[in-house]
Amino acid sequence: MKFKTTPYHYNLLKDEERLSVFYEAIKEFAASNDCSNLVEFDVGCGSGILSYFSKDYFRKILAIEIDPKVADYTRENLKDFKNITVINEDATTFDFPEKADLIVCEMLDTALIDEEQVPALKNAKKYLNENGKIIPQSIVNVAELVEMPRENIHYDDVGSNTQYEILSNPVTYDKINFLDDFKESFNDVLRFKINKDGFKVNGIKITTFTLLSDNIICGPTPMLNPPLLIPIEPKNVKCNDLINLRIKYDMGEGIQTINVNYE
């Protein structure tokens, strides 16, 4: 099926690894549940591809999209499927008419820092049945110290040649289960051990791994949580040096909220 969409959503559709893990997670949910009388919310549905993956399983799918142009494209894409309703509304405030058994909500930004879906999911969860599930299920954030050539915050170009040197052990610093109530601000000290000589630390790399379910995990892809590189004050280091950094940011509020300082 050919989808009519915007250039941005076209790039999302080209990311086959991203598509495949969501497809497998939805199929896995359907295989372990009788979905013939179940309801799904597709929050921030974009082109409608995840609703399309779900169309053969659920009694009803409510696909919510805030952008009117995108919503028009999505209606056209999904017009043949009577169990899918495309709604042009703001999912952060929308009063859902019934409860869902599954919420599908793509969380595309690393560590959720620039992720507009955070407040949308918070609202949608109010309408999730007691035993309902969310895809993705959770994320895990990992940080590493690096030497990098650029002096600005930027995303890694996944799949291209690496333009930085990793200098420390990886630190797993935050695990978020979307079914839980989680703090939307992060503020903590991370402790790193340098494992290379002859370099200068001038950045921190954040990598987010997405758990679609207990059995499906996806690392960064070009359009799903590409690693984020954040500049810090340069410091000459040697092997076995210990570095403490306080990192702060607000999820859903943008990369301008990031603050990293030595402790």
Averaged pLDDT, 20-31? 98
CB 115 within 8 A of CB 91: no
Averaged pLDDT, 14-19? 93
pLDDT score for 18? 94
Percent of the chain with pLDDT over 90: 93
Pairwise CA distance, residues 171 & 173, whole Å: 6
Q: Are residues 85 and 179 in the same domain?
A: no
Averaged pLDDT, 16-24? 96
User: pLDDT category, 2, cuts 50, 70, 90?
Assistant: confident
Q: Are residues 47 and 146 in the same domain?
A: no
Pairwise CA distance, residues 89 & 117, whole Å: 13
Closest among 111, 195, 217, 106 to 145, alpha carbons compared? 195
Please check whether residue 2 lies inside any domain of the structure.
no
Please check whether residue 119 lies inside any domain of the structure.
yes
Instruction: Quote the pTM value.
Output: 0.94
Pairwise CA distance, residues 119 & 253, whole Å: 10
Tell which of 106, 135, 164 closes a domain.
135
Please check whether residue 1 lies inside any domain of the structure.
no
Tell which of 93, 116, 135 closes a domain.
135
- For the stretch 132-167, pLDDT in tens is 999 999 999 999 999 999 999 999 987 777 789 999
Tell which of 82, 107, 135 closes a domain.
135
Q: Which domain holds residue 219?
A: 138-262
Please check whether residue 130 lies inside any domain of the structure.
yes
Q: Are residues 222 and 252 in the same domain?
A: yes
Q: Are residues 19 and 107 in the same domain?
A: yes
35 φ/ψ angles, rounded to the nearest 5 degrees = -90, 5
Q: Are residues 142 and 111 in the same domain?
A: no
pLDDT score for 1? 79
Half-sphere exposure of residue 49: CA atoms within 13 angstroms, side-chain side: 22
Q: Are residues 231 and 219 in the same domain?
A: yes
Averaged pLDDT, 200-206? 98
Q: Are residues 201 and 228 in the same domain?
A: yes
Averaged pLDDT, 242-254? 97
Q: Are residues 25 and 122 in the same domain?
A: yes
Domain CATH for 220: 2.70.160.11
- For the stretch 29-87, pLDDT in tens is 999 999 999 999 999 999 999 999 999 999 999 999 999 999 999 999 999 999 999 99
pLDDT score for 161? 72
**Domain tally, the chain:** 2
Domain CATH for 110: 3.40.50.150
Q: Are residues 163 and 95 in the same domain?
A: no
Pairwise CA distance, residues 207 & 243, whole Å: 19
User: What average pLDDT is seen over the chain?
Assistant: 96
pLDDT score for 153? 96
pLDDT score for 108? 86
Q: Are residues 145 and 109 in the same domain?
A: no
Pairwise CA distance, residues 242 & 109, whole Å: 29
pLDDT score for 147? 97
pLDDT score for 4? 92
